Amino acid sequence: MDARNPVDPVTASTLPTDASRRQWLSTTGKTAIALGGLGMLDPLVRAGAWAAGSDAPEKKEVRIGFIPLTDCASVVMASVLGLDEKHGVKIVLSKEASWAGVRDKLVNGELDFAHVLYGLMYGVNQGVGGARTDMAILMSLNQNGQAITLSSKLAEAGVKGGEDLAAHMKANPREYTFAQTFPTGTHAMWLYYWLASHGVHPMRDTKIITVPPPQMVANMRVGAMDGFCVGEPWNARAIMDKVGFTANTTQDIWVDHPEKVLGSTAAFVDRHPNTARAVTAAVMEAGRWIDASQDNLRKTAQTIAARAYVNTSADAIVDRMLGKYDDGRGRQWQDAHPMRFFGDGAANVPYLSDGMWFLTQHKRWGLLGEHPDYLAVARKINRLDIYRQAASAIGVAAPVSDMRATTLMDGVRWDGSDPAAYADGFALKV
């Protein structure tokens, strides 16, 4: 069976038809039961055990926005697999054109939740990149799986990576243009960190533009940029279309880095805590199903490739989901840290230190004028209470600590213990 069949090609911004969903579930439900992970057909759950009494979701139908990217997969599959209904809600998916559109619709209430950039949520909460609004992050949707793509013209000039790029820019002075997807978002921060680690000041040595993810390849094709940072499948698509090559993956910058989140406004979550818990549980369970086997990963790639979702060929999605990388210049490898949607639970934890890291980079690059109270802001935005309830509902053990430590590509360690000193400690900053 072609996993794209469940998608109704006419309704690009809504759910698959009920009939097609049942057809999909007749096959994938058996797979999930065999894996022993989902218990999708548990009669108590199917009867709506979580939707009983005081645990009942306050809002039964919720609208969730997403951008056409591979990492929208767990949100989409929560709907396609019927996991939303299992937890007493119905997800109505809304395909959006840009992160600015996602931001605006979250803030004005057109969307209840969204697949959204981690850094966007923190920026809006601080009044940067949008009108200041209290935001809520319920879970991390994925780790890893983004990349920095450079143009084929740079490849022809002998550029292979960051060091070559820095040397080329110095030897051939001109205006170099690089694109990210939202000013405070993850892709902007990965791009800036990568450039700076190679001695290129993103604000002084380059021109930075904002381009929606699905438009990256087309803009590079017409020569509008020298490089971009974006989520998959658009880096793989640039290689397939012979307009660019992968200079670095983002997991090369930070192994198992946070990426997209399930986001909402604080006001919505405060009014609808049971709904927030139910949606979080459904999406987390979908991520667990995706990561459970290569077969599930392939089925997911086939599903989200459809016009209603990412709107590209499945072969542009599946290899990098499986960790099979080709940089477009002859190097091929099996990546040890590909995109993960569950990662034995670790990929979904909204660690406070992850949120704080984005604030340090906002301060580093002048998006914030003063140091905020990093920990207090993170505690307010990252709704670990909702996350823990949802994790418990599907039998996932929450971590003991709300913080984690890592060492990034430049050898600098981040553990959240002194964020102000960390932000001020970089040689290249605004």
On the question of pLDDT at 401 being above 90, the answer is: yes
Q: What is the mean pLDDT of residues 359-369?
A: 98
When comparing pLDDT for 34 and 299, which is higher? Answer: 299
The residue ranking higher by pLDDT, 5 or 412, is 412
Q: What's the predicted TM-score (pTM) here?
A: 0.89
User: What is the structure's pLDDT at 189?
Assistant: 98
At 321-346, the pLDDT tens digits run 999 999 999 999 999 999 999 999 99
Q: Kindly tell me if the per-residue pLDDT of 28 is higher than 90.
A: no
pLDDT in tens, 179-226: 999 999 999 999 999 999 999 999 999 999 999 999 999 999 999 999
> In terms of CATH, what superfamily is 18-144+258-322+339-401?
Periplasmic binding protein-like II (3.40.190.10)
| pLDDT at residue 68, as a whole number | 98
Look at residue 115 and tell me whether its pLDDT is greater than 70.
Answer: yes
Q: Does pLDDT of 8 surpass 90?
A: no
- In the chain, the percentage of residues whose pLDDT exceeds 70 is 87
Amino acid code (one letter) for 34? A
pLDDT of residue 38: 37
Band of the pLDDT at 42, cuts 50, 70, 90?
very low
Q: Give per-residue pLDDT as tens, 264-286.
A: 999 999 999 999 999 999 999 99
Q: What is the pLDDT of residue 16?
A: 41
At 84 the pLDDT is 98
Contact assessment for residue 157 and residue 115, using Cβ atoms and an 8 Å cutoff: no
397 C-beta neighbours (distance < 10 Å), count = 10
Tell me the mean pLDDT in the region 152-164: 97
The domain spans of the chain are 18-144+258-322+339-401, 146-256+408-424
List, for residues 72-84, the tens digit of each pLDDT value: 999 999 999 999 9
The proportion of the chain whose per-residue pLDDT surpasses 90, expressed as a percent, equals 87
- What the block records as the tokens of 419 is 């964020």
pLDDT of residue 392: 97
**Taking the domain 146-256+408-424, which CATH number applies?**
3.40.190.10
The Cα 144–Cα 254 span in angstroms is: 8
Predicted local confidence at residue 15, as pLDDT? 37
User: Residue 20 above 90 pLDDT?
Assistant: no
Specify the pLDDT at position 7. 31
- What pLDDT shows up at residue 371? 98
Q: pLDDT: is 41 or 312 the higher one?
A: 312
State the pLDDT at residue 14.
36
Rounded-to-integer distance, Cα 38 and Cα 289, Å: 7
User: In CATH terms, are 18-144+258-322+339-401 and 146-256+408-424 the same topology?
Assistant: yes
Q: If you average pLDDT over residues 388-410, what whole number do you get? A: 97
Residue-wise pLDDT for 169-189, tens only, equals 999 999 999 999 999 999 999
With cut-offs at 50, 70 and 90, classify the pLDDT of residue 22. Answer: very low
Q: pLDDT averaged over the chain?
A: 90
Q: 287 falls in which pLDDT band (50, 70, 90)?
A: very high
What the block records as the tokens of 196 is: 């700076």
